[in-house]
Amino acid sequence: MDYAKGYLGSYNPKTEHIQEWPVPGGTDARPYGMTVDDQDRVWFVETGSHPNRLVGFDTRTRTVISLTDISSGGGTVRHMVYHHPTRTIWFGTDANTIGRARVP
């Protein structure tokens, strides 16, 4: 994640190749907090938008698969954890709130 410029990136240590994709919110998106689900999809939050926005990115097709506004009580999402048995993402904000999102 490139917080300052709004990019999601991938690094291949074998080839030393770096690939980047701009996040949907652009340079002001401030992507933060990230987790990966059981299908190797990347989930992160654009914290520059209000409300914050949960973004799903399919690593196989290299496309955005989900954009969901998060009502976080005005706080910025900071940490995310994927819980495999329930297929949910748990996240916390700097406003002392927690949230849960079910992934498809």
The count of domains in the chain is 1
In a domain, 2, yes or no: no
Whole domain around residue 34: which residue ranges? 7-102
| pTM of structure | 0.91
pLDDT at 94 over 90: no
User: At 27, is the secondary structure helix, strand, or coil?
Assistant: helix
In a domain, 1, yes or no: no
Output the pLDDT for position 73.
Answer: 62
CA 26 – CA 29 distance, rounded (Å): 5
Render pLDDT for 12-67 as a digit per residue (tens, 0 to 9): 999 999 999 999 999 999 999 999 999 999 999 999 988 899 999 999 999 999 99
Output the pLDDT for position 72.
Answer: 60
- For tokens 């995310």, the residue is 80
